[in-house]
Amino acid sequence: MIDIPAPLRLRLDGDALVQNWRTLDRMSGTAACGAAVKANGYGLGAIEVARRLAAAGCRDFFVSNWQEAAELAPLGLTVSVLHGVREEDMPAVTAGFARPVLNTPIQVARWKAAGGGPCDVMVDTGMNRLGVSADDIAGGLLDGLAIETLMSHLACADEDVPMNAVQRDRFAALAGTTSARRLSLANSAGIALKGYAFDLTRPGLALYGGVPRNELSAIRQVVGPEAQILQRRRVHASDSVGYNALWTAKDETEVAIVNLGYADGYRRHFTNIGAALASGRVLPVLGRVSMDLVAIGVDAAKDLAEGDWVALDYALPTSAAASGLSQYELLTGLGARFERVWTTS
C-alpha cells in the first residue's frame, strides 16, 4: 500500500497528557488515579494514550466494551470494561485480558454461571443509567463475587448541586456491605470535589485537556488540530463564501480554503465563529463549515500559501462555549482522517 501523507493532523502533546494525569493523581490524595481511555482514548488513540500513562504510573484503565479492551490487550494492562458482559462477550472474557464491570442482575448471574472470578460492579446512586441498586446489594445479589472495585458515577459533578452530596452519601453507605476491595466514585470533575475520591478515581476528560470545573485550571491542552491550505483566493466585496452564502465580504478579502470539515469532527457549529492560528495571528472561519472544507480569512497572513499548514483554535473550554458543543464532543468527534502525531513540549 502506498504511504500517502494525510492533509490534516492532530498534534498531541504527550508531556501535557502525562502532566494532566499527575495533576489529577495529586488531587486524588491517597486514592489511586486511573484513566478512562474509552472511545479510542477520547479520540486521541487509546494505545498511545495508555502506553504513556502506564509509563507515568497509572495502573487502572477503563474502556466501554470488549472490542476496546481487546485493542489494549497487547499492552498487558489492568483494564475494566464499563459496560459489563453480554453473552456475546463471553469468549473474549475467558481470554482474561480484562475484567467486567457488572451492571445488572442478569450480568451478575451470567458471571456467576461462568465461574465468577475477579470483577468490578457498578451501583446506581441516582443517575439512573447503569448499575445495580442498593436494594439488590442488600438482598444478596453480589454475595459470593470476588469484587475488586465497587463503583458509581456522579451525574452532576461539574455543577455545585445537592445531588452530588446525595450520591456521595449513598455510595459511602455501601462501604463494607460487599466483598469489594476498593470504592470508586469520582470522574474528572469529581476529583475537584473534596471528599469524593474514596479509593480510586477515574478521570477521563481532564486527562485530554478538558476543564469541567474551575478548580482544574492547571489542566493543559493536549490536542491541536492542523490542516493544509488547498487554495488561496481573493474574494471581491459583496461576494459570498460557502454553502448558503452565510458570509459576504464587505471589502476585498484574502481567503484560504483548508482541507478540513465536519466529516473530521470540525463541526458546522464553528460556522462564522471558529478560527485558525498562524504564528500568533487569528484567522477567522468565513461562512459555513462543509464536509471536507473550511474557508478562513487570511488578510493578516500574507505569507500563507497553498500547501502551508494552519492550526485550528481548539482550546476545549472556550471552543465549547463558542460552539455550544460539549468538550467531550469536541474530543471524541475528531475523525479518522487525521494523522495523529505525538510530540513532547
Catalytic positions are 38, 243
Mapped onto helix, strand or coil, the DSSP state of residue 192 is coil
Q: 153: number of CA atoms within 13 Å, CB side? A: 18
Burial of 60 (0-12, 13-18, 19+ CB in 10 A): buried
- Tell me the one-letter amino acid at 50: A
Measured in residues, the chain has a length of: 345
Report whether 222 contacts 2 (CB < 8 A): no
Q: How far apart are CA 184 and CA 188, in angstroms?
A: 12
The torsion region of residue 10 among left (phi > 0), alpha (psi -120 to 50) and beta comes to beta
Q: How far apart are CA 87 and CA 89, in angstroms?
A: 5
CA 147 from chain center: how many Å?
27
**Number of neighbouring beta carbons within 10 Å of residue 221:** 16
Grid cell locating 173? 453507605
N-to-C CA span, the chain: 32
Q: How far apart are CA 111 and CA 122, in angstroms?
A: 14
Burial of 252 (0-12, 13-18, 19+ CB in 10 A): exposed
Closest CA to 232 of 293, 305, 295: 305
Closest CA to 262 of 219, 308, 225: 225
Report whether 81 contacts 100 (CB < 8 A): yes
Handedness of CA 36, 38, 41, 42 (dihedral sign): negative
